[in-house]
A = this chain, B = another copy of it.
């Protein structure tokens, strides 16, 4: 198919497709002549992946490029998630400020094994510091339950990965799952907040609009 058809079937503008090709997140079409290129289903699939990561998970184009490069190059099984993690920076990774020793210790207290050397440790520690700086330090119990929940989803992620036998499929699940799993969890957490809030502090039964947006 031609670029106009690719644009039509995916809903992505031609200009954007060209942009993605320029940025290296989408392979150029097969060149048939000086001004003639053909695109296949693989291009459409990749395009959907790119849009899903960018729109659905807020991954930057540079991050998408790293993910797709890893997908195309194949990744080692024991580090499938590690590669994806390196490609998708955490929200709090922009600062270079050092976390407090105490916060790092608190994080280390709830993780084990190889996790103790993970680059995400200082990010989590800085987040704890911010809670303290705002005047609302969090209890150990809170942190422990977060760690427990994180272990549950990590096991779920790996179980899902192990259901695939094809290494390429495993790589896809790891890459996409790292980015989109965050979004799914955040959404479910917010929904659970609403549910739990209603359970603990029931709203007056009169008007059933207890959310920030009077939903339909």
A63 to chain B, nearest CB (A): 12
Assess the A211–B82 pair: CB atoms within 8 A: yes
**Oligomer copy total:** 2
Q: Are B145 and A111 in contact (CB under 8 A)?
A: no
* Nearest-CB residue, chain B, relative to A53: B130
A159: which B residues are within 8 A, CB to CB? Answer: 141-142
Mask of A114-133 contacts with B, CB within 8 angstroms, 1/0: 11011111011011111101
Taking a contact as CB atoms closer than 8 A, the residue among B141, B156, B203, B210 that contacts A141 in the complex is B156
Cβ-defined contact, A211 with B146, below 8 A: no
Which of A1-9, A15-23, A24-32, A87-95 is the interface stretch? A87-95
Q: Is B185 a contact of A81 with CB atoms below 8 Å? A: no
Q: Which of B95, B150, B199 contacts A189 (CB 8 A)?
A: B150
| C-alpha spacing A21/B110, complex, angstroms | 39
> With a CB–CB cut-off of 8 A, which chain B residues contact A141?
156, 159
Residues 180-216 of A contacting B (Cβ, < 8 Å): 180-203, 210-213, 215-216
Tell me if B45 and A111 are in contact (CB < 8 A).
no
For the complex formed, measure the closest distance between the CB of A162 and the CB atoms of chain B, giving whole angstroms.
7
CB distance B212 to A134 under 8 Å? no
* Cβ contact within 8 Å between A150 and B188: yes
20 A/B residue pairs, CB under 8 Å, sorted by A: A48-B130, A48-B133, A52-B133, A55-B92, A55-B95, A78-B198, A90-B187, A91-B186, A111-B191, A114-B211, A118-B215, A119-B213, A120-B186, A124-B191, A127-B187, A130-B176, A138-B160, A143-B184, A146-B188, A149-B188
Chain A contacts to B: CB under 8 angstroms: 45, 48-49, 52-53, 55-58, 77-83, 85-86, 90-92, 94-95, 97, 107, 110-115, 117-121, 123-124, 126-131, 133-136, 138-139, 141-143, 145-160, 162-164, 169, 172-173, 176-178, 180-203, 210-213, 215-216
